[in-house]
Structures are given as structure tokens and as C-alpha cells.
Amino acid sequence: MKDRVVFLDRDGVINVEDGNFVTRPEDLRLLPGALESIARLTAAGWTIVIFTNQSGVGRGQMTESALAEVHDSLRAQVTAAGGHLAGIYACIHAPDAGCDCRKPQPGLLIRAAQELKLDLSTAYAAGDTPRDIAAGHSAGCKTALILSGHTKTYSPESFPDPQPDEVFPNISALAEWLISSR
């Protein structure tokens, strides 16, 4: 069982979150330091998995094959930078579908753990929204809030429960902390 695992939300953590669906590979604009951070985590022995809500498919604004092209492009960029993604798990359902994989539900994390033989109790789930933190918490992961997307500032009083275990300004700071702490 792999115990050095980090789940990363996609939009707002790895790529720019601008409120629009990323429907084509050329729309995927990576945040500064994202590729380098994934490469550093890979080199340090971390298993990296993307977990992302992509309701554009369920809303009819993109196809599953278009989403696959976006993710293929992301994988290629990560690989070219020296990183590795063990998996990309996406909820493609509309927000009102009632599925167990749309964050804040933990379904994506649980499915990834089963398929990739990951230990959720030692994993980190990192994202930029309360729903990312809630999904990680529900799955039994430690959680990290990244302030580079939807959430720009953090105070325990204004953030809904569950609270994140750690808070970082960006993926680079998260990677540095994970590498130095283990």
C-alpha cells in the first residue's frame, strides 16, 4: 500500500481558475510552479492523483472525449517536466445528479484508493475550495487548502467546517512542505 500520496484538485491548484470550463487543451493554463512542483513530488517518491469536479460534461458544455484530451495534454506536460500522475479522477456529473463522486462527496478519493491501492489515512487531499477539504476529510485524508484558486484568504472563522489541516499559498509551498516533512 502506498502511503506517500497527495490528491490534487485541478482547477485553481494546477491550472488557472477563471470561472470558465477548460474544454480544450489550449485552454489549460497552468499556474506558475505547478509542473515543477509535481516533478519534485514525483522525484521525492510521492504518488500524485488528480481529483476534480468537471460538471461541464454533465451540463452538456463539453464531451467526455474533450475532457480526455484536456487530461491527456496535462499528463503530457507533467511527464515532459519530469513528473508523473498516477491517475486523474473526474466527476463528470451535473451538480444536481446526486452522485457519490462529486465533491464534497468522497467517491473520487475512495475509488482512486481502491484502484491504485492507496492508504487514505496517510494521504493528503489538497484543493482550493471547502468542498475539496470536505471530500478529503470524509475520505479520511489529511487536508491542505491552497489559496491560488477560489479561496484567496483563510481564516478559521469564515471557512466552513471541516477546517483544513494545513494552508498554503500555492502548490509550490505545498510541495516544499510535503517533501521536507517526510
Query: Within 10 A of 130 (CB to CB), how many other CB atoms are there?
Result: 19
Q: Which of 9, 18, 96, 165 is catalytic?
A: 9
What is the rounded CA–CA span in Å between residue 90 and residue 66? 13
> For this structure, is 128 an active site residue?
no
Catalytic residue among 11, 18, 119, 128: 11
SS3 168: strand
Beta-bridge partner residues of 52: 90
9 is catalytic: yes
Nearest to 151 by CA among 135, 167, 173: 167
- Residues designated as active site: 9, 11
